[in-house]
Chains A and B, each alone.
Chain A
Amino acid sequence: MKNYLLSLIAVIVLALIAYVGAEAATWPQYVFGIIIPYLAMTIFIMGTIRKILGWARSPVPFRIPSTCGQQKSLPWIKQSKIDNPFTFFGVIVRMVLEVFLFRSLFRNTKCKMSKGGKIFFDLEKWLWVGAIVFHWSFLVVLLRHLRFFTNPVPGCIQFLEQVDGFIQIGLPGIFLSGFALVAGAVFLLVRRIVIPQVRYISLASDYFPLFLIIGIALTGILMRYFTKVDIVGAKEILMGLVTFHPSISANINGIFYVHLFLVSILLVYIPFSKLMHMGGIFFSPTRNLANNSRAVRHINPWNYPVKVHTYDEYEDDYREKMIEAGLPVEKE
């Protein structure tokens, strides 16, 4: 079966399980609303720490920063301080820009054929645009959700809501980030399905998180604008969860449990999948190393002590024979 159909079906089945469960009786609400979220959070935190410690234990024998500019050289040659960092500070600047702006993706190129049959590389920015829209709107959506997890809601979160909701059409007002998130994720999905080369290298594990995130976003939009959900009741449940006083204090629509269940699945899925790139970026030797191997000696961590025979010792051993043979020696 096609990879993407498999992933789509997986997400739909998961959603149905939560919906049917939560609508059928009360006890599954405790499963989907309390037990699974706690389990998911535990697995997410433990899994992430395990993964990161695993990476931290991996030696990096060589300086392999991918450099995109002039390295530090003679004083009159201008160094590219961010693209070819020499200091730890330079690395931090480079890393921050990478994390927040995806600069390396911005350099994305595409191989094309000109009319005359010549092959050339052209800038290809759409992937960068899609990725930026997707990641930033995801961040805003995530931060906005803090209104369900904090009481009183911090001023900066309220400010974010005001900015995000500046389009006041109809009621409830529109939060742009939610729709941007769906648009971004759908773009990334369609790109994978439509472009043959990308489809060829795409696996179920590429499609699954996209469908999962689209599912989460759509159930959220459904609850806010269409089927409606008792928001005050939902917040009461979520506040109970984060303060360890769990209870299912309100009777809430099944869509809410679908939303919560899909989020739990996402949390569990993160540490064991490519989504762990959110931690992995900090451990990428091509990004997090300073290109200073001309100035600083880096020793391979798994070097074992090697018995060496230096030239001085060699000369001591053979000095007389060398002088006899008329070879130059350093010490007479």
Chain B
Amino acid sequence: MSNNKKIYDKGIVFTGLVIFLALITFPFWYNRGIAAPAPEPELTEKAKAAKECVLPADEMKTGHMQLLNDWRNDVVRNADRMYVNEHGKEFNMSLSNECLDCHSSKEDFCDRCHNYASVKPYCWDCHIDNPKEKM
């Protein structure tokens, strides 16, 4: 660095620095400094009575899409509709009829998290939201 104190092309340099700072602080001013707590997915009476999900809650939280993928493959490729978890409990492998049977509706449960994490599963293009409520 030179000892020279003069800054050349001040206008352009400071415009560039302001743009840099604006971009780098985007998350702060976009959120207006408001932290967003994680959503609490609503559990239905039926789910509360069951106490347990298909897998332990921690595994469901992070890996439910992989479970759904396995279910899908088992049903569609192997024509196997029964799933038994480690406690020996049986489940009918179905997105709308099983998951949404305990978990009321897509909106009050799945979407709470998904909107927060910005994921839009395309499943609902074909699968229907809680079938019982619709009927």
Contact = CB atoms under 8 A, between A and B. Distances in A.
Contacts of A183: none
The residue in A150, A168, A236, A243 that gathers the most chain B C-beta atoms within 10 A of its C-beta is A243
A167 to B, nearest CB: 12
B36 A250 contact: no
B62 A229 contact: yes
A53 interface: yes
B34 interface: yes
Contact of A57 (B6, B26, B118): B6
A56 B7 contact: yes
B16 A57 contact: no
B2 A57 contact: yes
A245 B4 contact: no
B38 A243 contact: no
B35 A245 contact: yes
A152 interface: yes
Nearest to B30: A150
A282 B13 CA distance: 9
B43 to A, nearest CB: 15
B34 to A, nearest CB: 6
Interface stretch (B46-54, B76-84, B109-117): B109-117
A240 interface: yes
A57 B8 contact: yes
Q: Say whether chain B's binding surface is mostly helix, strand, loop, or mixed.
A: helix
Contact of A158 (B9, B31, B38, B120): B120
Contact of A52 (B16, B24, B118): B16
Interface residues of B, number: 43
Contacts of A147: 117-118
A57 B27 contact: no
A235 interface: yes
A157 B35 contact: no
B59 to A, nearest CB: 8
Given A56-B9, A232-B61, A242-B31, A171 B122 contact: no
Nearest to B69: A171
Nearest to B58: A230
B113 to A, nearest CB: 5
A171 B26 CA distance: 31
A235 B61 CA distance: 14
A231 B4 contact: no
A96 B10 CA distance: 20
Contacts of B8: 56-60, 301
A233 B2 CA distance: 48
Contact of B7 (A48, A57, A60, A150): A57
Contact of A282 (B1, B16, B39): B16
A280 B35 CA distance: 34
Interface in A34-78: 45, 48-49, 52-54, 56-60
B26 to A, nearest CB: 8
A57 B69 contact: no
Interface in A273-297: 279, 282
Given A232-B38, A232-B39, A170 B69 contact: yes
Contacts of A233: 38
Q: Which 10 residue pairs of A and B lie closest in terms of their CB atoms, listed nearest first?
A: A149-B27, A228-B62, A151-B36, A171-B65, A153-B118, A171-B69, A242-B27, A147-B118, A245-B35, A243-B35
Given A236-B37, A279-B20, 20 more contacts: A52-B13, A56-B9, A56-B10, A56-B13, A58-B2, A59-B4, A60-B8, A149-B27, A150-B30, A153-B118, A157-B118, A168-B122, A171-B68, A172-B65, A230-B61, A232-B61, A232-B117, A236-B38, A243-B34, A249-B37
23 contacts: A45-B24, A48-B20, A52-B16, A56-B7, A56-B9, A56-B10, A57-B1, A57-B4, A57-B7, A57-B8, A59-B2, A146-B26, A153-B118, A158-B118, A161-B118, A170-B69, A230-B58, A230-B62, A232-B38, A232-B116, A243-B31, A244-B33, A282-B16
